[in-house]
Chain A
Amino acid sequence: MWIQFTKEMLELFRDKKNLLLTILMPIVLMPLMMIGSILLIENVAKTEIDKVKYYILVNEIPTQMQLALDDNSSLAVKDFDPDFKQLIKDGDISFALAFNDNEYEVFYNGSDFINNNQAMISDIIDEQNIEFRISELLKLGLSETEQTSLLTHIKFKQTDLASIEQISTKAIGGLLPFLAIILMAVSAIATSSDICAGEKERQTMETLMLSPNSILNTLMGKWFAVTVFSLISGFLMLLSFSVGITVFKSMIDIAEVQKIFSIMNMPNILMTMLILIPASGIISSLLIATSTIASSFKEAQSYGSIALMLIMLPQGVVMTGIIEISNQSIFYPLINLSLWLQSFFNQSAQFSLLIPIILVNLVLISSLLTIAYSLYKSERIIFKQ
């Protein structure tokens, strides 16, 4: 097995395409993508916050409302334009306000999520309504207690107890294994296609099968090489992501973003690395099996793309946070690893669950390798060209 493994590693390290996917992509591309998107969001948000929003008054509005709007420094009124609806659609103004028969009407563009101001107008109206009612009730000579009992109705109050750290740990706890697993799968597709289907295409499979090396040794050597290569990819992505975040942390001057990044600490990174080991074992055994069926590199990559979808979709579900680690979800291989990691990030991980989780994943790895082994024993499959 070691002889086979050493040969595979030597060959894979001499292939520029593999190195590009396994080494360069996780080091450069992934952190750049992440940090690029954060900077972009930050930039867009800042621009929108700083931007003065214009509005138009369709007709004369009550003085109280006028004063409330004037008090808002981010708002500026524009002269009336009969074509104000088009101006809203074109984004030239944020909204227009009309007042008729004690009714305010706000014209706005619902697709422009950032510039929606109808909630702000509604709040002002609510406040003015209360003030109006109090003044009217005072005219009736009602006492303060009587006013309160008349005006107080059932209220709805929301209190979000989640801290920014909790929200971010949930998000990153889902995102990090998702990105690492996808990247490992991409690397495993390239390497497994190369050392399984590639052997058939380059006509080295028969040379290999002629040797007195057992099929099991050959298969395990190949599986181990793909696993190690995909792990290198996942580890490099994690490390470069962490280094990238440390460097860029100082460049992003938003307290919330700083808090989000603070969860990328050493224990979390190390635990993610440990969890990636069985994950890469599953990914590589699945891709070894699919690329053994293929007779060419191209065919193996097509099968690999289907396998990638099988890996990606459940991981996507994990990322959304719909499911959590439970006595039922521990039986879903690969997903259970991501879910457990998510709970570790949330500091609610049960270490006793690790044993059944690892066992479930080992069963899947063994099953996939058994399939690959039976494929290797088939004349039709192994010598198909």
Chain B
Amino acid sequence: MLEINHLSKSFKLNRKQKKQQGVNEVFAVKNINLKLGTNQIVAMIGSNGAGKSTILRLLTGLLIPTVGTIKINGVNILEDLNATRAQIGFVSDNTQLYHRLTVRENLTFFAKLYKMQDSDIKQRIKELSQSMQFDDFLDKKINDCSTGMQQKTNIARALIHSPTLLILDEPTSGLDIKAAQTALKIIKAQKNENSLVLFSTHHLHEVETLADHIVAIEQGQCVFSGTPNEFTAFFKADSLYQAALNCVNNSTVN
């Protein structure tokens, strides 16, 4: 479903940074190779600044790779970016909604951008609002919604066009316990939709609860890809927490 080959991304430095670091560019992502299938939830873990968000933004086509290819269902995303984007749903801190529009208006606007028909949009909004329990808030402006409700709407926005690849960058960040629990439930429900869910997180209980597969990223490189059991075994630990700690320590030493 998702195939990443030799993926690298560098960012050019400004004059001041060039002077400080003595190089013209830095690689945020270095030679990532991954193959992930459908009907699974993949957790991407790693330290702050490891390159998780950059990888996820590369997968959506928001950033263009410096080197390497990303294929979704066998198609290179850069060959037809718009067609690929129609298969992806993405939620992050940087994908906010229009605060002056209502929940319904936001969802309708994005659905229209995905070229959905009016009748399909109505039906999909109904489905999502009922399954995610926000039908009472449909005509409330985003400005008047709580952070939890905004995140629910944001996930609904990413799901409006029924994507086959749902990417979430720290989906529970900034949410209270109840809102986080709701968000996790929604993510879990996507596993049965013949799709791939890829989410990044720092919360290991979320990995334990949701993930079928773990991808560990450190210093822009993929240091592990496998099941949670394989992860603990690989890092010679008896718990996920200890394995994650060993993963960070090993990568730092390396």
**Is A64 located at the chain interface by the 8 A CB criterion?**
no
Chain B CB within 8 A of A209 CB: yes
Contact yes or no, B113 A203, CB < 8 A? no
The 5 sampled A-B contact pairs (Cβ below 8 Å) are: A11-B100, A207-B96, A208-B113, A211-B114, A214-B82
Query: Which A residues are in CB contact (< 8 Å) with B98?
Result: 7, 11, 202, 204
**Residues of chain B within 8 A of A14, CB atoms compared:** 100-101
B199 contacts A by Cβ under 8 Å: no
A211, B82: Cα distance in complex, Å: 7
Return the chain B residue nearest A3 by Cβ. B112
Encoded as 1 (CB less than 8 Å from any A CB) or 0, chain B from 93 to 114 comes to: 1111111110001000110111
From A3, A15, A203, A383, B109 is in contact (CB under 8 Å) with A3
Q: Which residue of B lies closest to A379 (CB)?
A: B63
Which residues of chain A come closer than 8 Å to B93, judged between CB atoms? 203
Chain A residues with CB under 8 Å of B110's CB are: 207, 211
Contact surface of A with B, Cβ cutoff 8 Å: 3-4, 7, 10-11, 14-15, 202-204, 206-214, 379-380, 383, 385
Tell me, in angstroms, the Cα distance from A72 to B105 when the chains sit together: 76
Distance, CA A385 to CA B115, complexed state (A): 29
Contact between B100 and A210 (Cβ–Cβ < 8 Å)?
no
Complex CA–CA separation, A66 to B28 (angstroms): 96
Residues 36-59 of B, flagged 1 when their CB comes within 8 A of A and 0 if not, give: 000000000000000000000000
Complex Cα distance, B157 from A385, in Å, reads: 23
Supposing A211-B85, A212-B113 touch, asked if A203 and B60 sit within 8 A by C-beta, the answer is no
Q: Flag if B62 contacts A209 (CB, 8 Å).
A: yes
Look across to chain A and name the residue whose beta carbon is closest to the beta carbon of B90.
A210
B78 within 8 Å of A (CB atoms): no
CB-defined contacts of A11 to chain B, threshold 8 Å:
98, 100-101
Q: Which of A213, A214, A383 makes the CB contact (< 8 A) with B62?
A: A383
Residues of chain B lying within 8 A (CB to CB) of residue A206? 62, 92, 94-95
Separation in Å of the A140 CB from the closest CB of chain B?
92
Complex Cα gap A3–B106 (Å) = 12
Determine if B83 is an interface residue (Cβ-Cβ < 8 Å): yes
A209 CA to B60 CA, complexed, in Å: 10
Known contacts A3-B109, A10-B105, A210-B85; 7 additional CB pairs below 8 A are A11-B101, A14-B100, A204-B95, A207-B95, A207-B157, A211-B85, A383-B94
Q: Select the residue from A4, A7, A383, A385 with max chain B CB neighbours within 10 A.
A: A7
Known: A210-B62, A210-B90, A214-B82. A202 touches B99 (CB 8 A): yes
| Contact status of A203 and B105, CB under 8 A, knowing A209-B62, A211-B85 | no
What residues of B have a CB within 8 angstroms of the CB of A214 in the complex?
Answer: 82
Given known A-B contacts A212-B85, A212-B86, A212-B114, A15 and B62 have beta carbons under 8 A apart? no
CB interface residues, B 105-127, toward A, < 8 Å: 105, 109-110, 112-115
Once bound together, how far apart are the Cα atoms of A206 and B88, in whole Å?
A: 13
Q: Which B residues are CB-close (under 8 A) to A207?
A: 95-97, 110, 157
Closest to A205 in B: B94
Q: Is the CB of A213 within 8 A of B113?
A: yes
Asked whether, in the complex, the Cβ of A203 is within 8 Å of the Cβ of B96, the reply is: yes
CA A3 to CA B115, docked complex, whole Å: 10
- Cβ–Cβ < 8 Å partners of B105 in chain A: 10
CA gap between A14 and B60 in the complex, in Å: 31
Residues of B within 8 A of A385 (CB): 94
Tell me the complex Cα distance, A15–B63, Å.
31
Of B100, B112, B113, the most chain A CB neighbours within 10 A belong to: B113
B240 close to chain A: CB less than 8 A:
no
Chain B residues contacting A209 (CB-CB under 8 Å) are 62
Most chain A CB inside 10 Å of its own CB: which residue of B12, B83, B98: B98
Q: Taking CB as reference atom, which chain B residue is nearest A14?
A: B100
Residue B64 interfacial (CB < 8 Å): yes
Contacts of B82 in A (CB 8 A): 212-214
Q: Residue on A with the closest CB to B64?
A: A379
Report the Cα distance A204→B112, complex, angstroms. Answer: 16
Q: How far is the CA of A93 from the CA of B82 in the complex (A)?
A: 82
Q: In the assembled complex, which residues on chain B have CB atoms less than 8 Å from the CB atom of A203?
A: 93-96
Q: Known interface pairs A212-B85, A213-B113. Does A7 touch B101 (Cβ–Cβ under 8 Å)?
A: yes
In the assembled complex, which residues on chain B have CB atoms less than 8 Å from the CB atom of A213?
Answer: 82, 113
Given A206-B92, A383-B62: A212 and B115 interface contact (C-beta under 8 Å): yes
Q: How far, in whole Å, are A208 and B85 apart by their CA atoms in the complex?
A: 11
Q: Which residue of A lies closest to B93 (CB)?
A: A203
Question: A296 CB to closest chain B CB, in angstroms?
Answer: 15
Cα separation A311 to B64 with both chains bound (whole Å)? 37
Determine the distance from Cα of A214 to Cα of B81 in the docked complex, in whole angstroms: 10
| Chain A residues within an 8 Å CB radius of B81 | 212
With A7-B109, A15-B100 as given contacts, are A210 and B95 in contact (CB-CB < 8 Å)? yes
